A and B are shown apart, each in its own frame.
Chain A
Amino acid sequence: MTGYIFRRILQAIPVFLGTTFLIYFMVFAMPGDPIVALFGDKTPNPAVVAQLRAQYHLDQPFIVQYFIYLGGIFRGDFGLSFSGEPVTAILARTFPVTARLAILALLFETFFGILVGLISGLRKGKLFDASSLAVSLILISLPIFVIAFVAQYVFGVWLGWARTTVSSGAPLQDLILPALVLASVSFAQIMRLTRASVIETSGLDFVRTAYSKGLSSRRVIPVHILRNSLIPVVTYLATDFGVLLVGATITEGIFNVPGVGNTLYQAIIRGEGPTVVSFVTVMVLIYLVVNILVDLFYGLLDPRIRYVK
Chain B
Amino acid sequence: MNITRLGVTAITLAAVGALALSGCAGGASAPASTPNPGAIISTNGSEPQNPLIPTATTETGGGKIVNSIFAGLVYYDAEGAAVNDVAAAITTDDNTTYTIKIKPGLSFSDGQVLTSNSFVDAWQYGALLSNAQLGSSFFSDIAGYSVEQDSPLTGLTVVDDTTFTVALTAPLADFPQRLGYAAFYPLPASAFADMAAFGESPIGNGPYMLDGPKAWKHNEKIDLVVNPAYDGGRKPKNGGLSITFYANQGAAYSDLLANNLDVLDSIPDSAYGTYESDLGDRVVNQPAAILQAVTIPARLPHFSGEEGALRRRALSMAINREEITKIIFSGTRTPASDFTSPVLDGWSDTLRGADVLEFDAKAARKLWARADAISPWTGSFQIAYNADGGHQGWVDAASNSIKNTLGIDASGAPTPTFAQARTAIADRSIQTAFRSGWQADYPSLYNFLQPSYATRAGSNDGEYSNPEFDSLLARGSAEGDLAAANSDFQKAQEILLQDLPAIPLWYANVTGGVGLDVHGVVFGWDSVPLFTEITKG
Contacts and interface: CB of A to CB of B under 8 A. Distances in A.
Interface of A: 30-34, 36-48, 51-52, 55, 82-85, 89-90, 93-94, 149, 152-153, 156-157, 160, 163-165, 167-169, 252-256, 258, 262-263, 265-266, 269-271
A39 B58 contact: yes
Contacts of A153: 254
Given A48-B134, A51-B132, A164-B255, A41 B436 contact: yes
A169 B220 contact: yes
Which residue, A36, A89, A149, has most C-beta atoms of chain B within 10 A?
A36
A83 B50 contact: yes
A38 B50 contact: yes
Interface in B126-163: 129-130, 132-134, 136-137, 147-148
Given A40-B58, A152-B254, A168-B244, A48 B132 contact: yes
Nearest to B131: A51
A43 B254 CA distance: 35
8 contacts: A38-B50, A41-B437, A43-B426, A84-B196, A167-B260, A253-B248, A262-B247, A270-B419
Given A83-B48, A163-B260, A36 B423 contact: yes
Nearest to A84: B51
B451 interface: yes
A73 B318 CA distance: 57
Interface string B417-437: 111111100100000000011
A252 B355 CA distance: 48
Given A31-B417, A84-B50, A149-B250, 12 more contacts: A32-B418, A32-B419, A32-B421, A36-B426, A41-B459, A45-B137, A48-B136, A52-B132, A83-B218, A84-B51, A253-B248, A254-B251
A51 B130 contact: yes
Q: Pick the most buried of A47, A262, A269: most chain B CB atoms within 10 A of its CB.
A: A47
A269 B422 contact: no
Contacts of A46: 147
Given A45-B147, A51-B129, A83 B47 contact: yes
Interface string B391-422: 00000000000000000000000011111111
A89 B426 CA distance: 34
B49 A43 contact: no
Contacts of A85: 200, 218
B219 A93 contact: yes
Interface of B: 47-51, 58-59, 129-130, 132-134, 136-137, 147-148, 196, 199-200, 217-221, 244-248, 250-252, 254-255, 257-258, 260, 388, 415-423, 426, 436-439, 451, 458-461
Q: Which 5 A-B pairs have the closest CB atoms?
A: A32-B420, A32-B419, A37-B419, A51-B132, A256-B251
A182 to B, nearest CB: 15
Contacts of A32: 415, 417-423
Contact of B136 (A45, A89, A160, A169): A45
Contacts of A254: 248, 250-251
B219 A82 contact: no
A157 to B, nearest CB: 5
Contacts of B220: 168-169, 258
Contact of B258 (A40, A47, A94, A156): A156
Given A32-B421, A84-B200, A157 B257 contact: yes
Contact of A31 (B219, B246, B420): B420
A47 B129 contact: yes
Contact of B260 (A43, A44, A164): A164
B219 to A, nearest CB: 5
B258 A37 contact: no
A90 B218 contact: yes
B136 A256 contact: no
A232 B421 CA distance: 47
Given A84-B50, A157-B258, A256-B247, A48 B129 contact: yes
Nearest to A52: B132
A41 B48 CA distance: 17
Contacts of B199: 84
B247 A253 contact: yes
B63 to A, nearest CB: 11
B47 A266 contact: yes
A117 to B, nearest CB: 33
A168 B439 CA distance: 31
B251 A253 contact: yes
Contacts of A90: 218-219
Contacts of A82: 49-50
B66 to A, nearest CB: 13
Contact of B247 (A51, A163, A266): A266
Contacts of A48: 129, 132-134, 136, 147
B420 to A, nearest CB: 3
Contact of B254 (A42, A84, A156): A156
Nearest to A163: B260
B147 A37 contact: no
Contacts of B129: 47-48, 51
B383 to A, nearest CB: 16
A255 B254 CA distance: 9
A46 B220 CA distance: 33
A32 B426 CA distance: 11
Nearest to A170: B220
A30 B423 CA distance: 12
B219 A258 contact: yes
A160 B516 CA distance: 15
A254 B251 CA distance: 5
A165 B48 contact: no
Contact of B419 (A33, A44, A149): A33
Contacts of A45: 136-137, 147, 458
